[in-house]
Every structure is written in C-alpha cells, then in structure tokens.
Amino acid sequence: MTSAIRQPQKGGSLMIAWQCQQQKILVVGNNTVAASRVFSALEADANVELVGDKSTMCQELLVRIEQGQVTWIASEFEPSHVENADLAFVCIRDLDRARVIVSACKAAKVAVNVADISELCDFFMTSTHRDQSLQVAVSTNGKASKLSSRIRRQIASSLPPNIGTAVDRVGTLRKRIRSSDPSDAASARRMHWLAQICEYWSLDRLACLSEQEMEGLLELYNNDEGYESLEGNNRGLPSLMPTVNGDSDIMQAPSLPRTSSGTLTLVGSGPGDPSLLTVAAVNAIKEADLVLADKIVPAEVIALVKCELKIARKFPGNADTAQEEFNQEALKALSQGKNVVRLKQGDPYLFGRGGEEVLFFRKHNHECKVIPGISSSTAAPLLCGIPLTHRGVASQFLVTTGTGARNSSAPLPTYDSKRTDVFLMAVHRLKDLTEDLIRDQGYPSELPCAILERASCSDQRVVYGSLKSICQVLDSAGGSRPPGLMVTGWALNVLKKESELSEGVVESFQGKAQYQTYHMKDSKNILTLHDPEGVC
C-alpha cells in the first residue's frame, strides 16, 4: 500500500506566495541588486527599510527614497536594524560583512537571503513573471540563477498575452459566486462549477468576460441550469464521459451568446507571395467575417479571403477619404459582433497608417490586435538581389517615403555615400523626387538606382538605372507596375554580374529564377504593362 503513494524527491525548496503587506523588510546594499529586491518587496506592499551608502547608491534607490517609497535608515549596518524585521535581504559583495549581518539576522530569528552566496541563505529568490494578479516563479535552488531567468522568459513567452486579465476575471467571478451562495455546504459545488469554467473555456474567452456575461453566468449558477448540483439534479454540467476506447474524456464547455462587440485585427500581408504570410496572418484571414483590404494587396493574397471582402478605393489625392470610409465600415461591423481584418500591404506600422488606425479605434473603445508582416522595404531588395548593407560599401540603410500627406512632397534625406536608401510610395512622383535628390539633397546623378515592382510575385520586375536616367528607363519599359519602391545606393552593384548592364529591366516569370535583361535601347523587347491608376 505504501508503494502506491508519491515519494518525495528531496533537495527542493518550499515554494510559497507569502503575503507580506505592511510587514517590515530590511534591504542592505546600494546597488542594482538591492534595487531589484526593493522593487519585489514594494510589489508585495511591504514596508521597506534600506541600509546603504548614499554617496555611491544607484539612481533607482535614490529616487525611491526621495519619493518616500523606501525608508533609508543608515549607511552602515547595525544589529539593531534587524529588530522587528520580518525578512532581510543582503546585497553586498564583502563576504565577511555579509556573514556578520547573517549572524545578526539568525540571532533575531529573521530569515535572510544573501545575493549570490547560496550557503548563507535561508531562502532563495525566484525569477518571476508578473501579469496583474498572475505571478509565475522559477527557482533553480541557488544553482543557476542566470538560467532561471531564461527559463522564466521561455515560460512567459508561451503564455497568452491576456492571461493576467483572465485570472482577474475568474477571481471577480469567484467572489460574486461566493457572495451569492456563501454557505459552507455550497463550497464543493462552487469549486466544481468554477473548475469547469477554468478547464474548458479558452483563456481568451475568460479574459473577455463582461459584467453582463458575468450576470448571465451567475443567473445560470443560481438557477442550476447547465451545472451539476449537490442535490442530485441531473440537469447539471455534462458528466465526464469516456470515449469508445476509454482513453480520454470529453466535456462540452458551457457557452455564452456571441458578444455585441466584435474584434479588429490589423494584418500585415507581406510583400505579395502568400507563402511569406505569417501563420498568425493566415489564421486571422481564415477566421474573419469581414476583410477590408488595401488596393495594392496582390491578388494571390486576396484569393485566400473566403468571407466578405471590400477593397479600398485609394488613388492619388483620395487616400484620406478611402481611409475614413474603411474606418466607418469597420466600426459598423464591430457593432454587429463581427471579426474584422484590416489587410495591409507589408507591415502595418511601416508607412501603413497602422498607428493612426489603432488610435482611431481606441477612441471608439476598440483595441486592435496587430499582426506584423514582412516589409517590402527589406524583402524586396533581397528578392531582387540587392543587399541593403555590405561590408565596405554600405554600413546602414534608411527607409522613408516619397509622398507626404495629401500626395504632397515629403521631407527628403541628405546624401550619405555609405547608406542605401529605400523610398516607399515614390514611383508615381519619380521625376520630382529624383530631381529634388540631385538638386537639393546632394545625391550624385550617376548613383545606382532601381525600381523594384511586385516583389515576390510571379511578375516581379526590376528596372535599373542611375538616379538621372531611371525615369527614362521606366518610361521605356512601359511605365510602372504597382506596387513598387525605389532603392538608391552603391550597394545595388555589389551582386551584379559583370555581364549585366547598368540600365535595363529584369523580368521574373512564374516566380522561377528565369530572368531576362533588356537594355533600354532594345525597345522592341520592352513589355508595355502599365496601370494608369496604380499607386506605388
């Protein structure tokens, strides 16, 4: 019989969450480790007393003393400092002094922790992740504190972003159930009922519980509808029923009606090839009830949309109007409880007006989820064989826009020979832009320049020239093929083969590595593909 019980592993620590509100915690030290211990104690609402030399004290501790968060009592430790203390932290490097302080703590029966000296510790500090009421602690029992930080980060990264809110919502629900049914006899019922909610509802669903939904759940609990009662009512929560092979259990989670407020997700669709979408972006598109897409999102990505789809009516001079139309469409859909995806080319926050949309919807009490996308500013040059940085040629790169508000000119950078410049939304203003760069910003007219169009798509195209000639080369190629961007800098020549011309067009067919180079003089071979309404 005894062999059936669990056997203790030994050598561990007793992990507890100690409630130390208003208790006295003594910290000895004036460095950043002491500041970390002080912060942990303050987060637990303790009264902190500090011993340390102010003349060499770290700035964080000085600020906390000045703000009255911490009581500074002396520069040097005295045994009397531990009187009436509930806990002590020693954060000094002098081992002999640390031993003296530990002896005083033990004489006063005060548990003590000494930073980085495990043999002197009564307890170890944990590496802690905090999200509202949720705290996750990791301990290596003094053996590898640096590794515990990495383990803590790994655990924290695997948690849902709103897990703290879910904990607080369940805590609120627990209190309300207890107040509505406080009897000891109902304790087991409460625990069972809450256990079903915690086990079988998604964390996202728990985090979104509104006051109205809590009222509905309380009514269900009080009426015993859908939940097992101790009085033998068989209308309770579905019992755990074994499957045919008996290997697993199935439970149907309690459900609530769909909320009146939908969700809004800003999704970056990358440069164009659907295979370059993130998994999160694909999932958001699949789960959407309405997709509001930019005009320049390629058809290959649009083809993934299976729900209602609307394309922005954007053209030069109408961008603000089109943006407002989409904002209103989204608000209407959100009020109907729909999942709305705002599908944007590239990355939402890189000249995608994503930040403006977040602020707009925040004013209307909607918080956006934002999914990053691969930006064409870095992906397009790579896909077209242009390194943005290259040792000895370009040590930095700059991403900017060629178009300001309401299709106006934008402030332009001055020339730097060691920099590669990427200009988004520039091709429709190419003549004015290149002239300005040469005339006013110090760019040499012979600087290599390229227009990169529909990068990663089957009809990807690169138009090469110099800053002075690029307009003529593009016109000879039949005009622009949106979406596109302009790149300038000496790094454009790094990967070019000696046989390739400095001016011409490189075509990509069906996404394969089949390229043909046309010189601008060989006009009979130039494709005449041009979208007069395109904006790139």
Residue 368's CB is within 10 A of a number of other CB atoms, namely 21
* Antiparallel, parallel or unpaired: β 504-508 and 515-518: antiparallel
Domain interval for residue 102:
24-125
Q: How many domains is the chain partitioned into structurally? A: 4
Identify whether 9 is part of a domain. Answer: no
pLDDT at 224: 53
Identify whether 50 is part of a domain. Answer: yes
Say how many Å lie between the first and final Cα of the chain, rounded.
77
pLDDT at 200: 65
Tokens 């964390």 found at: 203
Q: Which of 352, 374, 396 is the last residue of a domain?
A: 374
**Do residues 375 and 382 lie in contact, with contact meaning Cβ atoms separated by under 8 Å?**
no
**Do residues 376 and 289 lie in contact, with contact meaning Cβ atoms separated by under 8 Å?**
no
Cα separation of 385 and 378, whole Å? 11
Residues 518 and 464 grouped into a single domain: yes
Q: Smallest Cα–Cα separation from 415: which of 396, 388, 432?
A: 396
Residues 336 and 400 grouped into a single domain: no
Cα separation of 89 and 37, whole Å? 7
Identify whether 172 is part of a domain. Answer: yes
Identify whether 492 is part of a domain. Answer: yes
pLDDT at 483: 84
> Which contiguous run of DSSP H or E holds residue 190?
helix 187-200
Residues 83 and 104 grouped into a single domain: yes
Identify whether 284 is part of a domain. Answer: yes
Does residue 236 sit in helix, strand or coil?
Answer: coil
Identify whether 258 is part of a domain. Answer: no
Tokens 């002197």 found at: 120
Cα separation of 368 and 340, whole Å? 10
> SS3 for 88-103, per residue?
EEECCCCHHHHHHHHH
**Do residues 115 and 91 lie in contact, with contact meaning Cβ atoms separated by under 8 Å?**
yes
Residues 350 and 446 grouped into a single domain: no
pTM of the model: 0.53
**Do residues 488 and 535 lie in contact, with contact meaning Cβ atoms separated by under 8 Å?**
no
What backbone phi and psi angles, to 5 degrees, belong to 241?
-110, 130
Residue 185's CB is within 10 A of a number of other CB atoms, namely 8
Mean pLDDT, each 10-residue run in order, the chain (536 residues): 72 86 94 94 95 94 96 94 94 94 95 92 90 90 84 86 85 82 71 72 76 75 48 34 33 43 92 94 95 88 93 65 88 94 94 93 94 96 96 96 78 96 93 95 96 90 95 88 92 83 71 41 35 31
Q: What is the CATH classification number for the domain harbouring 513?
A: 3.30.950.10
- Cα 424 to Cα 318, 352, 535, distances in angstroms: 18, 10, 11
Residue 14's CB is within 10 A of a number of other CB atoms, namely 5
Q: What is the CATH classification number for the domain harbouring 84?
A: 3.40.50.720
Q: Which of 187, 211, 241 is the last residue of a domain?
A: 241
Q: Is the preceding peptide bond at 413 cis, omega within 30 degrees of 0?
A: no
CB-based contacts of 257, cutoff 8 Å, min separation 6: none
Cα separation of 528 and 513, whole Å? 22
**Do residues 423 and 397 lie in contact, with contact meaning Cβ atoms separated by under 8 Å?**
no
Strand extents, DSSP E, 305-428 = 308-311, 339-344, 369-371, 396-401, 419-424
Residues 382 and 494 grouped into a single domain: yes
Q: Which of 315, 344, 374 is the last residue of a domain?
A: 374
CB-based contacts of 476, cutoff 8 Å, min separation 6: 520, 523, 526
Chain Cα centroid distance, residue 397: 24
* Antiparallel, parallel or unpaired: β 504-508 and 369-371: unpaired
The DSSP output letter for 270 is B
Cα separation of 275 and 251, whole Å? 37
Residues 370 and 337 grouped into a single domain: yes
Cα separation of 354 and 342, whole Å? 9
